[in-house]
Amino acid sequence: MSAARRGGGGLFDRPATPVGTWLKIASGEPVEIMAFAGFDFVVVDLEHAPLDLQTAYRLINTAAALGMTPLVRVPDKTPSTIQKILDAGAMGILVPHVDTVEEAAAVGRACRFPPDGVRGAGGTSRAGAWGLRPAPEYLAAGNDDVLCIPQLESVEAIKAAPGMLALDTVDAVFVGAADLSMSMGSTPSSPEVLELVASAIEAAHAAGKRCGLAFGGVPERAAAAVRDGCDFVMLSNDTTMLAEAARGLVAGFREACG
């Protein structure tokens, strides 16, 4: 990360490795539960969940009010979507399927105000405190406090990672091991995929930036990855947590009944 950019409300300044989860349910209660459970950040998932911008706005607001860093996985690379999400108060975005340095550069520009990018000023939005935040402060925060995190989900993306991470507008990368392995006809735990993941982590650290990974509901694997250099992790998501807890209760009941 650039020495001048704090990013994500200081997410990477925490003493422990930041741990987050995905939000897929269109309700504020799961956000509250994640905060009470101790998650450092949440990622509102607009790529793989039926959430609209208005719902994302409410989830961002709730997460921030409860002391978590609200990030959003946008559905695509469209600058207009990125702008609306950042004006809604998100402290960063994850962008799926960024495969080239050129794509990463375009995404980075969409996150930053001129002269660093092409994001339009929206000081009357939540990010600008409805017009009450001084314009210089709003613009500075938009350039310094917002995390831009491309997702690396192909061999091409992994190979391009050093170039992406050399961009001042890119703060970290996130390796989507599931999609990466599918693109290779392999599995996330296969040696060839793990080697690519390790190379992404190495590239991030060489650039003085961060690399994140997702691990489903297996915290032991996440902890092992942190020991191997991973800088932030995602564990499970609100829907799967509910599904697994529900299935466990029913199975436990059936077993107890004999």
% residues pLDDT > 70 (the chain): 98
The pLDDT of 38-58, averaged and rounded, is 97
Q: Which of 10, 13, 27, 48 is catalytic?
A: 48
Does 1 score more than 60 pLDDT? no
pLDDT at res. 4: 44
Alpha helices in 27-134 (DSSP H): 28-37, 53-65, 79-87, 101-111
CATH of 8-257, picked from 3.20.20.60, 3.30.1330.30, 3.40.630.10, 3.40.50.2300, is 3.20.20.60
48 catalytic? Reply is yes
pLDDT, tens digit, for every residue of 229-249? 999 999 999 999 999 999 999
The pLDDT of 243-258, averaged and rounded, is 96
Domain boundaries, the chain: 8-257
The pLDDT of 34-40, averaged and rounded, is 98
The pLDDT of 142-147, averaged and rounded, is 92
The pLDDT of 42-64, averaged and rounded, is 97
196's tokens: 């690519």
| 172 Cβ contact list (under 8 Å, min separation 6) | 1, 12, 147, 149, 204, 209, 210, 211, 212, 231, 232
User: Cβ distance 101 to 116 under 8 Å?
Assistant: no
